Structure 1
Amino acid sequence: MNRLLILGVVLLAVVITAASALFTVHQTQQVLITQFGQPIRVIRDPGLHVKVPFIQAVIAFDRRLLDFEAPGEEVILADQRRLIVDSFTRFRVTDPLLFYQTAGAAESGIRGRLSSIVSSSLRRVLGSEPLLAVLSNDRLRVMNEIRRQVNEEARRFGIEVADVRIRRADLPQENTQAILSRMQSERERVAREARAEGAEGAARIRAAADRDRTVLLAEAQASADILRGQGEQEATRIFADAFQRDPGFFQFYRTMQAYREVFGEGSESRLLLTPDSDFFRYLREAPTVAR
C-alpha cells in the first residue's frame, strides 16, 4: 500500500514537472523565456518546446498586426487652420526582448507610448502642411511621412509600424461656421462676377444688334428711295411719252382721274370753283343723254 502511494506521488510529481517544463508556441505567437524575471531567450518557431520547470517563465507576444486607435486631438496646420484629427496605427512586435525591456510583458504597455509618438508626429508633420494638402491627393505623401517618423521612434521599443492613417479630419465647430460663411461669400462673389459679365455681354450684343438694325434700316430706306425715284422717273417718262403721242387724250385721262378722286365714293374733298371753271370743261362739253 505504501509502495502504491509512493508510486502515485512520484507519477504526480513527474506529471507536474513535465507540465511545467513543456509548453507550446502557436504559429501566431513568439515567446520570451525569463528566469527570475531576467530574459533568457526568444523562441519564434511554432511547436512543442522545453524550459526549466518552476524556474523559467514563458511570456507570449502576438506576432500578427495589432491595431491602435489614437484619441481625437486638435492640430494646428501650417496655414493656422485647426483640425480635429482621429488616427489609427497598425503595428507588430518584431523584437520581444526589446519590447519586454522597454514596455513590459503586456501589449497594453506600449499603447501609451505609441499614443505619444503618433501625437507628436501628427503635430510635427501636419504643422508644416496647409489644409489643402490634407484634403487633396497630397494626403498620401503626408501619411507616409507620419508613418516614417512614427516607425523610426517605435523601433526602440521593439515594434514595427506598418501603417498610420488619418481616419477623420474635421474642423472645430467654431471654425466650420466661419469657413462655410467664407465659402458662401466666395460663391456669391463669383456669382456676382458671372452676372456682371453676362450683363456686359448682353449689352454688347444688344448694342451690336441695334447698330446692325440701324444700318439695315438705313440701307433699306436708301434702296427704297432709289427704287421710288427710279419708279417716279419711269412714270414721268411714260406720262411724257403718252402726252407727246396724244396730248388731248392725255389731258382727258388726267381730268377723269381728278374727277374720280374728287367725286368718288368716300371722298370728302371740298372745291370752291366758278361754273365756268376749266375744271368742269369736259362736263359742260358732254353730250346730253336723251330721256
Structure 2
Amino acid sequence: MSRILVGLIGAFVIVLAILGFSTFYTVSETQQALVLQFGEPIGEPIQEPGLHMKVPLLQEVRYYERRILDLDPPAERVILADQKPLWVDAFVRYKIIDPLHFFQTVQTEGRLRDRLGQIVNASLRSTLGNATLSTVLSDERAGLMAQIRDKVSTESTRFGIEVVDVRIRRADLPEETSQAVYQRMRSEREREAAEFRAQGFERAQQVRSTADREATVIRAEAEREAQILRGEGDGEKTKVLAEAYTKDEEFFRFYRSMTAYRKGLNSKDTTMVLTPDSDFFKYFNTMLESEGGN
C-alpha cells in the first residue's frame, strides 16, 4: 500500500513539475510573443521582456524577433525605360512591429519572405521601368531607392512590419548589353574628344586672328609714329639748311650741289660727263685759286 502511495505522490509531483514548466515562459529583450489557444491568438502581444504565465496544455507561445531582419531576394531582371535589360540584386531590412497582424496575415517569417520578395521585385520593375540606365548609374539613384522603399513600405504595412531600408546591392548589365554600352560610351568619348579638338583649333584660330589684328594695329601705329618722326626730322633738316643758307649762301650751294652729284652717281653703272666750266669744277677751281693765293 505504501508503495502505491509513494508512486502516486511521485506521479503527482511529476505532473506538477510539467504543469509548472508549461505555465511559465520567458520573453527576452530581443523577442516578442503571441499566446495561442487552439491555434488562435488570444489577448495582446507580449512586448515586455520577463516571466509570463499561460494555461498549460491549452495554450502555446509563438515568438517573434524584435531586432531588424534582413531579406535578400533573388536578383531580378528589369527592363529600363530606354529598353536596356538590367539584373538588379536588392536587399531589404525590416522589423516586426505588430506580431498580431503578422500572425493573421503571414504567420511565419518564411511566408513573409516569399510575399515581401514579390513586393520588392514588383516595386523594382515599376520604378526602374520608368528610369534610364544613366539615371540608375547617376546620383539620382538615391531618389529611385527612396521611391522603391516607399512602395515596399506601403505594400507591406498590412503584414505588421516596418520596412527600414531597401538598397540595390548590385546592378549588372547582361554581357551582350555591356559590350554595346561600352562601344556606345567609347563612341561618345571619341566624339567629345573630336569636339574638344575642334574647339581648340577654333580657339587657336581666334587667338591667331586676334594676334594678327593686334600686330597690324601695332605696325600701323609704329609706321604712323615713324612718319611723324620722319616729318619732324625733315622739318628740322629744312630748318637747319635754311639757317645754313642764311649764314653762308655759298657753302649752302656747294653742299646742295655735292648732294645732288652723290645721288646722281650712286649707281656703279652711271657715267657723268662734265665740261671744265661746269658748276661742279667751279668750286674746285675756286679752292685751287685760294690755295695758290696762299
- On whether the aligned pair clears a TM of 0.5, the verdict is yes
2:66–2:97: 8 Å Cα contact kept in structure 1? Answer: yes
Pair 75,246 (structure 1): closer, same or farther in 2 beyond 3 Å: same
Pair 111,275 (structure 1): closer, same or farther in 2 beyond 3 Å: same
Q: Which runs of 5+ in 2 are unaligned?
A: 263-267
Quote the offset at 1:98 in angstroms. 4.3
Quote the offset at 1:124 in angstroms. 1.4
Pair 181,241 (structure 1): closer, same or farther in 2 beyond 3 Å: same
**From 105, 109, 112, the counterpart of 1:110:** 112
Equivalences for residues 36-55 of structure 1 within 5 A:
36-44=38-46, 45-55=48-58
Residue in 2 aligned with 1:183? Answer: 185
Quote the offset at 1:244 in angstroms. 4.7
Pair 197,152 (structure 1): closer, same or farther in 2 beyond 3 Å: closer
> What is the distance in 1 between the residues matched to 2:287 and 2:50?
148
**From 211, 227, 230, the counterpart of 1:228:** 230
Residue in 2 aligned with 1:76? Answer: 79
Cα RMSD over matched residues?
3.8
Paired residues, number: 283
3-state DSSP of counterpart to 1:30: strand
3-state DSSP of counterpart to 1:71: coil
**From 218, 237, 240, the counterpart of 1:238:** 240
Quote the offset at 1:241 in angstroms. 4.3
Moved more, 146-155 or 119-128: 146-155
**From 192, 209, 212, the counterpart of 1:210:** 212
Quote the offset at 1:115 in angstroms. 1.1
3-state DSSP of counterpart to 1:12: helix
Pair 147,247 (structure 1): closer, same or farther in 2 beyond 3 Å: closer
Residue in 2 aligned with 1:281? Answer: 285
**From 9, 12, 15, the counterpart of 1:10:** 12
1:34–1:56: 8 Å Cα contact kept in structure 2? Answer: yes
1:67–1:89: 8 Å Cα contact kept in structure 2? Answer: yes
> What is the distance in 1 between the residues matched to 2:54 and 2:73?
38
1:98–1:156: 8 Å Cα contact kept in structure 2? Answer: yes
Q: Which amino acid aligns with 2:285?
A: R
3-state DSSP of counterpart to 1:120: helix
> What is the distance in 2 between the residues matched to 1:114 and 1:149?
11
> What is the distance in 2 between the residues matched to 1:59 and 1:171?
43
Q: Which runs of 5+ in 1 are unaligned?
A: 262-267
TM-score (norm 1): 0.75
Q: Which amino acid aligns with 2:77?
A: E
Moved more, 114-123 or 164-173: 164-173
> What is the distance in 2 between the residues matched to 1:250 and 1:148?
110
Equivalences for residues 119-268 of structure 1 within 5 A:
119-136=121-138, 138-250=140-252
Residue in 1 aligned with 2:265? Answer: none
> What is the distance in 2 between the residues matched to 1:274 and 1:133?
101
> What is the distance in 2 between the residues matched to 1:252 and 1:95?
129
Moved more, 133-142 or 26-35: 133-142
> What is the distance in 2 between the residues matched to 1:30 and 1:132?
44
1:93–1:159: 8 Å Cα contact kept in structure 2? Answer: yes
Identity %: 47
Q: Deviations over 1:137-188 (max 9, x none)?
A: 5444433332333234334444333332223334444334433433343343
